[in-house]
Structure 1
Amino acid sequence: MKYTVIGAGAMGYRYGVLLQENAGLDVDFVDTWDINVDKVRDQGGVYVSRDHEGRHLVPIRIYTPEEYEGDPDVWIIMVKQMQLEEVLSRCAHLFKAHQVVFSAMNGWGHFDRIAGYFPKDRIYGGTAMIATVLNGPGDVDFIGKAGTGSMHMCAMTEEITEVERGMEADFKAANMNPIVTENFEGTCLAKIIFNSVVNTICTMYQITMGQFISYDGAMPMAEQLINEAYDACERAGKQLIQSRQTTLEEVDYVSRVSNPLHYPSMYQDLTRGRATEVDYINGYIAKLGRQHDYVCRTHEFLTHGVHLAELAFRIHRDEAAGAVSL
C-alpha cells in the first residue's frame, strides 16, 4: 500500500522512514512547518541517527498540504493535539472516500477531530512504544536498538479488516512489531496511562526515563498514578487491554531496558518553549475521573505542575534574554 504521513516530526519521520527503508514502500510526507519542509528540500532528505550515532541522509519527498497531489491508500497522522484541527483543515481537500487513516498520537481527543473528516469505519488508532527525538528541522534521532519498540493498532469499529491486516504486515516489515487488538478505547487508554507517568514526571524534573526509573521511589510513584487512572477508567466503564500490574511492569521495562536514554516528547516540547500535551494526558484522566465522581488528585496536581514548569521555562528564558516579565 501507499502511505502519506501528515506531520513530519519525530514520530512522523520514524513511521515514514521505517516504512520506506525497511518495508520498501512508497511513502510521502506532508507538513505545515515551512522551515522543516525547506530544510528537507535544501539538504535532499532527512538526517536520521540512532541513539545519537550513524547520522545519515535519507532521501524523502515532502510537501505542504497546498502543494500535495498524491493519493495514498493510508494516511498516517502524527501531529500535536493542539495543532491537529488546523492541519486537518488544510489537508481536507486531499481526503478521498477510498482512503483510510491511522494515528498513534499521544493523548486523547484526536479521534473525535479525525472523525470530522473520515467515517468511523475508515479510522484506525493505536499506540507506539517507540522513542524518537526531533533534533531540529530535517534531523531526527531514533532512540533504542532497531526492533526493540512495539505498537498496538485497532479499528475504531473494533472489527479486524483486510486493510488492517495489510497495515499490520507493512508495519511488521518495517520492524515496528505491531499487535492488532479489538478494544479501541482500551488500547489507546493504555498508552495514555503509560505517558501520564513517564512523560509527565520526566518533563517536570527534566530527566531521562532511565534516570527516573533509577530513583528508589519511582515504582511507588508510578503505581499511585496507574491506580488512580485505572480507578477512573473503571468508574467510567472503560475496559483496558492490560492489567494494572502489566502497565507498571511496562513502565519499568521501557524506562530501564528499552529507552533509558530517552527524554519523552513532552520534555522536548517544554525545553523548546512549546505548549505541552499534558491536558490531553494527565488532564484527560483527571477530567474523566471527575465526570464519574472520582477525583484523581495526583493527576490533577501533575497537570498543574507541568503548566507551572512551562511558565517557569518562559520566565527563565525571558530573564536570560534580558526581558523579565511576570
Structure 2
Amino acid sequence: MKYAVLGAGAMGLRYGVLLQEAGFDVDFVEIWQPQVDKIQQQNGVFVSRDHENKHLVPVDIYTPENYQGDPDVWIVFTKQMQLADALKRTARCFKDHQYVVSPMNGMGHLEKLNQYFDETKVIGATAMIGTVLNGPGDVDFIGAKGAGSMHMANETEVPDEMTHKIFDDFQKANLNPVLTTNLLGTLMAKVVFNSVVNTLCTMFSIQMGEFIQSPVAQKLSKQLIDEAFDVCERAGITLLNTREEEWQTVQKVSAVSNPLHYPSMYQDMSKDRNTEVDYINGYIYKLGLKHHYEAKTHDFLRNLVHLAEFSRDFDVEALEKSVQAAELAS
C-alpha cells in the first residue's frame, strides 16, 4: 500500500522512514517550510539512532499545496494546535477511499479528522516511541531497532479488512502494533502517560531516566494517575490499564525503554514552540469538569507549564525600559 505522512516532524519521519525501509511507498507532507526546504536541499533526511550512525535517507517531501499523490493511508502526526490548518491546506488531496491513522499526542484531533474522513475510515492510535528532531532535516531515533510500541483502534471499534492490512504493514515496519476495540480507553491511556512524564520532565528539563530516579517520582506519578483515572471513570471511559499498571508503564518506559529521551513537550519548550499541555493535562481537567470533578493537580501543572512558556518568552529588556520610564515619570 501507499502511505502519506502528514506532519513530517520527529515521529512522522520515524514512522515514514520505517515503513519505507520495510518496502512501502511513502510520501511526506509538511507545513513547516524550513523542514521541506532542508530535506529537498539535501535530498533526504539525516537519521541517527541514539545519537550515532548518522546517515542520509532519501525521502520525498512536499508542502500541502504541492502534493499530488493519492495514498491509500494517511498517517497524521502534526501537533494538535496545527492540525486544523494542516488538514485545511491538504483537503484537496483527501479521497473517499483513503484511511487515516492518527498516533498524535493529546486529545482533540478526532473531531477535526471527522470533518474530512468518515468515521469508518478513521483509526485512532498511540505511539510509545521516543524520537527527537535535532533540526530541519535531522532526526534521531531513540532506542534500539524494534524498540517502542503502538496501539490502534478503529473509531467504529470494529476492525475491518483494511485495518488488518495496515496492522500487518506496521508489524513489518517494526512499529509493534497492538489492535484494540476500545477507542477512548486506548487513546486516554497514552494521554494519562503523557500527563505525567511529558509534563514533569518538561517542567524540570530532565530526561525520562533522570525523572524516574527521583525519590518523589512515584508519588507525583500516582497522584496524577489517580486524578486522571477518577476523571475517566466518571466519563465512562475504561482504560486499557489499571492504575497500578499505568504506573508500572511509566516506570518501565522511563527506566528501561527510553531513559535518554527528552519528551516531545520538552523539545517544544526548549525550541520556543508552544506545548500541547492544553490537549493533555488540560484535556483531563476539562473532561473532569464536564462530569463534576476537578482534577486540580492537572490544572495546576498545566498552568505551571504556561507560566514557563511565558517566562521563556518574556522580554526582559522591555520590562527594564518600562520600569525606568515609570521611575523617571515619578
Q: Same fold (TM over 0.5)?
A: yes
Aligned counterpart, 1:211:
210
Structure 2 Cα separation of the partners of residues 38 and 146 of structure 1: 28
Between the aligned partners of 2:297 and 2:145, the Cα distance in structure 1 is 35
What is the correspondence of 1:237-248 to structure 2 with a 5 Å cutoff? 237-248=236-247
Partner-residue secondary structure (3-state), 2:66: coil
Q: What amino acid does structure 2 have at the position aligned with 1:13? A: L
Matches within 5 A, 1:121-200: 121-200=120-199
Q: May I ask how many residue pairs the two structures share in their alignment?
A: 321
1:218 & 1:136 partners in 2: Cα distance?
Answer: 30
Q: Which residue of 2 aligns with 1:20?
A: 20
Matched residue, 2:33: 34
CA distance in 2, matches of 1:120, 1:169: 21
1:67 and 1:324 map into 2 onto residues whose CA distance is 44
The secondary structure found in structure 1 opposite 2:65 is coil
Match of 2:303 in 1: 304
CA distance in 2, matches of 1:62, 1:166: 24
Which aligned runs of 4 or more in structure 1 are off by greater than 4 angstroms?
Answer: 322-326
SS of structure 2 residue aligned to 1:66:
helix
What runs of 5+ residues in structure 1 fail to find an aligned partner?
Answer: none
How many percent identity over aligned positions? Answer: 58
Query: Which residue does the alignment assign to 2:88?
Result: 89
**CA distance in 1: counterparts of 2:186 and 2:88, whole angstroms:** 27
Residue of structure 2 equivalent to 1:4: 4
What SS is found at the alignment partner of 2:64?
coil
CA distance in 2, matches of 1:125, 1:247: 20
- 1:262-281 to 2 correspondence within 5 Å? 262-281=261-280
TM-score (norm 2): 0.96
| Residue 300 of structure 2 corresponds to residue 314 of structure 1 | no
AA aligned opposite 1:15: Y
Q: Partners of 2:290 and 2:48 in 1: how far apart?
A: 44
Name 2:327's counterpart in structure 1.
Answer: none
**Corresponding residue SS for 1:246:** helix
Q: CA deviation at 1:18?
A: 0.4
* Alpha-carbon shift at residue 152 of structure 1 (Å): 0.3
* Distance of 1:110 and 1:286 partners within structure 2: 17
Separation in 1 of the partners of 2:152 and 2:36? Answer: 29
Aligned counterpart, 1:112:
111
2 CA distance for matches of 1:167 and 1:324?
54
- Provide the C-alpha distance between the structure 1 equivalents of 2:33 and 2:105, rounded to a whole number of angstroms: 23
Q: What CA deviation, in whole Å up to 9, does each residue of 1:91-129 have, x standing for no partner? A: 000000110000000000011000000010010011000
Post-superposition offset of 1:239: 1.1
SS at match of 2:70: coil
The DSSP-based 3-state class of the residue aligned with 2:125 is: strand
SS at match of 1:308: helix
Amino acid at match of 1:10: A
| Match in the other structure for 2:282 | 283
What's the CA shift string for 1:110-153, capped at 9, x where partnerless? 11000000010010011000000011111100111111200000
Distance 2:104 2:235 in 1: 22
Distance 2:66 2:319 in 1: 41
SS at structure 2 position matched to 1:49: strand
Q: Which amino acid aligns with 1:235?
A: R
Shift of 1:323: 5.3
Following superposition, the deviation at residue 200 of structure 1 comes to 0.2
Q: Which residue of 2 aligns with 1:253?
A: 252
Output aligned runs, 1:49-88, within 5 Å: 49-88=48-87
Post-superposition shift, 1:324?
4.9
> Residue type matched to 1:212 in 2?
F
What's the C-alpha RMSD, in Å, of the aligned pairs? 1.0
Aligned to 2:201: 202
- CA drift of 1:312 comes to 1.5
Provide the C-alpha distance between the structure 2 equivalents of 1:69 and 1:186, rounded to a whole number of angstroms: 36
List runs of 5+ in structure 2 lacking aligned partners.
Answer: 323-330
AA at the equivalent of 1:69: Q
Distance in 2, Cα, partners of 1:242 & 1:164 = 23
SS in 1 for 2:74: strand
Secondary structure of the corresponding residue to residue 260 of structure 1 = coil
Q: CA deviation at 1:290?
A: 1.2
